[in-house]
Chain A
Amino acid sequence: MARKLPHKDVVIVGLGWTGSIIANELCDEGLDVVALERGPWRDTATDFNIGYAADELRYNSRQELMLRPAQTTVTARNNAGQTALPMRQFGSFHPGNGVGGAGVHWAGITWRFSPADFRLRSHFTERYGAQAIPDDMTIQDWGLTYEDMEPYYDKFEYLAGVSGKAGNLNGQIQDGGNPFEGPRKREFPNPPMMQTYGPTLFAEAAAKLGYKPFPIPSSLLSRTYTNPLGVTMGQCTFCGFCTNYGCANYSKASAQTTVLPVLMRKSNFELRTLCEVLKVNLDSTGKKATGVTYVDTSGEELEQTADLVILCAFMLDNVRLMLLSGIGKPYDASTGTGVVGRNFCYQMANQVVGFFDPAKYNFNNFIGGGATGMAIDELNNDNFDHGPLGFLGGGSTRCAPIGAEPISKRPTPPGTPAWGSGWKKAMRDSYLSNLSVGCEASSYANRGNFLDLDPTYTDRLGRPLMRITFDFPENDVKMSAYVTKKVAEIVRAMGAQQSVEYPRTGPWSTVPYQSTHVVGGTAIGADPSTSAVNPFLQSWDVPNVFTVGANVFPQNSGFNPTGTVGALAFRAADAIRSRYLKSPGPLVHA
């Protein structure tokens, strides 16, 4: 029997980006908040010590900051006909671990989704007719609009100090920004980052081909900045140890560099690290959560009662906790009914690598960061006419040198041997003269892609692992082939001697890293038969449970998710502060 601990107003599961934002907002409301974090405490000067933060073997190859699969992993298969097997080590994606979560090791690219993303099915139906959407494509509307989200995007961008150039201010298209973005109320809080040679060349070539290049919106900062909470961040130094690393000089936005200094001072906030939540407890009606049960490092089970339970863990863990706790009806792929586990999506990560004449081109690729670089948006989402193309969706295209740590980032032209003197010479020649252009593209929901609990494999505590059943739908593979060809045209126009195309193709493999942009499973929406949470991120079934994360995306856009995840955290916090606390109960009556 779990031992009961003194009651709290709010228990938050996971102290990453969303957990820390919501905890801070709810503490401001005067609530007693406790956060339970599965991993350890992490702090810049000690855990991302500048003397050893730049260790590729430790942080990139051995994934020091990531969740240990020995603690929890997932099983995976491409379709329901296969037996799912565990990801014994993380490959395709990298769940974070510890305070700050994956927001510690993220790249920092901070987009807003397009207005059309939030009403995707309606949008495509209006533009192309209902028949343009394949039968098994279960894309849907969010039940809210871009206008609803705008203030929360703004809040997150000013919290993180995003550096960029607006492309649309109150409906006025701005030179130098992304002309396809939704209207912003004001400029980015910081000017764009400086650009290295590669992205500069990319932008010139793209502009010549008629595209409108703009700087990637970056949560690596272009200058010293103090955010609205009073927390000061530093200027990015282009150290090149960014994605998969913690930032040693306070220049990458994370919970550590934006929220925790303020949150940790609040006397009504308490953090318990190394505590893994087992489940959300429900009362006898099953309609009300009474708190959570968790286990600490000694193995003792503890019950934390609370009036409000907010699931802010990594998206896979949020979905798993809902399934383990019996919150919402599990999705059944054979009938297409149920909501928890439905619409699991990913991101189509496509790439073109250009090999340039080493005698003429030196890109110094080690100078970079996860969100430096230039982008175009013409190939994204529905920014081009899909009518004649036979697929829907697209991706944001960018030349973003994230660094060139040499264990992992030393591409060679196809046909190069993998070892020996021949390899060495080719690798040496291309190390500074290769350049990669990526296209991070949409991933649309499909009836056969879902999450549920694995029938065989369990975690260290005997609980079933999350099971991923996923493959790239035909629509997305077609899209990837198309956009990758377009990207290759630009790379050739830049002067590459050779351009090598890597469109994402099936079957999905758990082995090579693609991105940590796994989304969906507890979709947001206005219809409880197809969504697990209402437009305020509140569980339809258990109204004192909210969940915030990419798990509420009904499908994925051609953008990195974190900007939208951060905005959703502010939206949920606002809904709780301004609506729920006044009248606890369902905020939307279906």
Chain B
Amino acid sequence: MNPSERPNTGQPSVFHTSRRRFLATTAMGLVALTASGARAKILFGTGLPWDSGSIEPPRQVLPGPWTFFTPREGELVEAIVERLIPADDLSVSGKDAGCAVFIDRQLSGHYGTSDRLYMKGPFQPGLPTQGDQTDLTPAMTYRQGLKALDDHCRRTMDGKSFTDLSPDQKDKLLTAMEAGEAKFDGPVGSGSLFSLLLQNTMEGFFADPIHGGNRDMVSWKMIGFPGTRYDYRDHVLKHNQKYTLPPVSIGGRGDWARKG
């Protein structure tokens, strides 16, 4: 893979072959304290270390086969995000903006597995002020919650699955879930599933397109958010005046590719 083709390919760069590589190399002042046997990273006396290979750029998420969802789960989530963010004169739908792809990839990563969170027991129900106390990771919540939704739907809607419902019927069911009134079997309540779905759908719709949603910066263009521009000094004093430069994503923007 030609590294120059990134970031669109999502392939790793030659420039970040290994995280914190500098700690193992001869960069000035960096010594792994192997002599004394400690594995700590030691820096001393010779200024700020430098290694361009220690960067951790994101990789472009591309549409393609699900990495977490089963085909059925994928269909369901696409059907849901299409209702949470419907296509209208303001934007394409959540599905067409890539929200389901976004959620799938998030669930495959550290977010889905709660790797970074405190997941030690004992798990016990708490007060609302004590936050989420379940032992379910987001990935497990989706897996069990989506199955419960499907079962609930077939049970209460004459054997129809969620994806077979009319837009109005879908919205009604989602509204019931939002209120926690749809009775799901299993450990994941309809309210919990809904709030997680809504949160993740909005993340996908508004996050940088590099993460798989917000395709073509659709939400940013809709609301007038210029993305990752990083310098507004020339507009600070232009009070109450529209900002006119188009949004930029971490992966750049279309104008760059114009062939000369």
Point out residues on A near B: beta carbons under 8 Å. 3, 5, 40-41, 43, 46-47, 49-58, 61-63, 68-70, 73, 76-78, 82-83, 85-89, 91, 194-197, 200, 235, 237-241, 248-249, 260-261, 264-275, 296-298, 300, 302, 361-364, 366-367, 404-407, 410, 418-421, 424-425, 427-428, 431-432, 456-458, 507-511
Contacts and interface: CB of A to CB of B under 8 A. Distances in A.
20 contacts: A5-B38, A49-B57, A52-B250, A55-B208, A55-B250, A57-B208, A63-B116, A70-B115, A73-B118, A78-B129, A87-B118, A89-B118, A91-B131, A194-B236, A197-B240, A272-B33, A406-B223, A407-B206, A420-B83, A420-B85
Given A296-B40, A419-B84, A507-B129, A239 B231 contact: yes
Contacts of B88: 421, 424
B126 to A, nearest CB: 4
Nearest to B178: A418
Interface stretch (B41-49, B63-71, B155-163): B41-49
B117 A88 contact: yes
A46 B55 contact: yes
B258 interface: no
B43 A431 contact: no
A272 B43 CA distance: 6
A52 B57 contact: yes
Contacts of B210: 55
Contacts of B140: none
A240 B90 contact: no
Size class of the B contact interface (CB-based, 8 Å): 35 or more
A195 to B, nearest CB: 7
B243 A424 contact: no
Contact of A89 (B23, B41, B117, B122): B117
Nearest to B214: A406
Nearest to A73: B118
Nearest to B211: A57
A270 B36 CA distance: 15
A37 to B, nearest CB: 9
Nearest to B135: A88
B14 interface: no
Contact of A431 (B91, B127, B224, B235): B224
B56 to A, nearest CB: 8
Given A68-B116, A407-B203, A273 B41 contact: yes
Given A239-B229, A364-B243, A456-B122, 15 more contacts: A43-B48, A77-B130, A78-B129, A241-B228, A249-B230, A264-B47, A266-B45, A270-B42, A272-B41, A302-B40, A366-B225, A407-B203, A410-B206, A424-B222, A508-B129
A330 to B, nearest CB: 23
Nearest to B41: A273
B184 interface: no
A235 B234 CA distance: 13
Interface string B147-191: 000000000000000000000000100100010000000000000
Interface in B110-134: 110-111, 114-120, 122, 124, 126-133
Nearest to A197: B239
A366 B224 CA distance: 9
A88 B119 contact: yes
Nearest to B247: A366
Interface string B218-246: 01101111111111110111011111000
Closest 6 CB pairs of A and B: A54-B228, A197-B239, A69-B118, A57-B207, A509-B129, A270-B44
